A and B are shown apart, each in its own frame.
Chain A
Amino acid sequence: DSGVTQTPKHLITATGQRVTLRCSPRSGDLSVYWYQQSLDQGLQFLIQYYNGEERAKGNILERFSAQQFPDLHSELNLSSLELGDSALYFCASSERLGGGIGNEQFFGPGTRLTVL
């Protein structure tokens, strides 16, 4: 158990819909990262927040957005869903902002999104 929780575990929805994925980081961790894992693209970094502020963006679609709340939990919002958005979405947390010593990331169990 990494200490990172994600809800829901599974989500099945239709094209065009909007969903919200939730992540609670480990106690004390200020950085939250979102990753997408699809069969054809592998694990891809989407976005990072640190203490409520967006800090880095990867190949995140404009239809996707995220935020980190004052209690440090984070939500990833996916809208106008397409079939290709079906994937595993992982949240990770770490203590610090940057890379380097002591900034290993702890991953949650993921949310499996299926778009029909």
Chain B
Amino acid sequence: DAKTTQPPSMDCAEGRAANLPCNHSTISGNEYVYWYRQIHSQGPQYIIHGLKNNETNEMASLIITEDRKSSTLILPHATLRDTAVYYCIVSSGADSWGKLQFGAGTQVVVTP
């Protein structure tokens, strides 16, 4: 599976959009981009994933560049409860076993 690079930390003001970048320059054609987050030692929580197209759900939006070498997770209106470590993970498609390789992630702190 391809590796990802994320900034170690970022701050965001409550109510503003949080844009979390992720580089995955070695991603291959059948690999998906997944985002999970972990709030202080709780179990990681699935946020969103995508292959080529941009995706949106009730939690966030995922923007994937055309060459698929990077992506951005957007939390549209950050709240204090969004303070967490956010993990960008590249995982192979249906021919893999689906395991997740977590990196160090980005510690996001949302401030009032």
> Which residues of A, 32-61, contact B by the 8 Å Cβ criterion?
33, 35, 42-45, 48, 50, 55-56, 58
Q: How far is the CB of A35 from chain B (nearest CB, A)?
A: 8
Contact A56 B97 (CB under 8 A): yes
Given A42-B103, A55-B97, A56-B97, A99 contacting B43 (CB threshold 8 A): no
| Tally of contact residues, A, Cβ under 8 A | 32
Check if B17 is an interface residue, CB within 8 A of chain A: no
Q: Would you give the shortest CB distance from A70 to chain B, in whole angstroms?
A: 21
Q: Name the contact of B32 in the complex, choosing from A31, A35, A43, A100 (C-beta under 8 A).
A: A100
Is residue B13 within 8 Å, beta carbon to beta carbon, of the partner chain?
Answer: no
**B100 adjacent to chain A (CB < 8 Å):** yes
Residue of A nearest to B38 (CB): A43
| Contact count A vs B, C-beta below 8 Å | 87
A104 touches B46 (CB 8 A): yes
**Which of B20-28, B61-69, B88-96 lies at the interface?**
B88-96
Majority secondary structure of chain B interface residues (helix, strand, loop or mixed): loop
Cβ–Cβ < 8 Å partners of A109 in chain B = 42-43
A-B contact pairs, 18 of them (CB 8 A): A33-B100, A35-B100, A43-B87, A45-B100, A45-B101, A48-B97, A50-B97, A88-B41, A92-B44, A96-B98, A98-B96, A99-B32, A99-B97, A100-B51, A100-B91, A107-B45, A109-B42, A110-B41
Answer yes or no: A19 CB below 8 A from chain B CBs.
no
Chain A residues whose CB sits within 8 angstroms of the CB of B46 once the complex forms: 104-106
Residues of chain A contacted by B42 (CB below 8 angstroms): 109-110
Within B32-67, the residues touching A (CB, 8 Å) are 32, 34, 38, 41-46, 49, 51
> Smallest Cβ distance from A112 to chain B, in angstroms?
8
Kindly name the residue among B30, B87, B92, B100 whose own CB sees the greatest number of chain A CB atoms within 10 A.
B100
- Give which listed residue, B32, B43, B51, B99, contacts A90 with CB less than 8 A: B43
Instruction: Identify which of A35, A94, A99 contacts B94 (C-beta below 8 A).
Output: A99
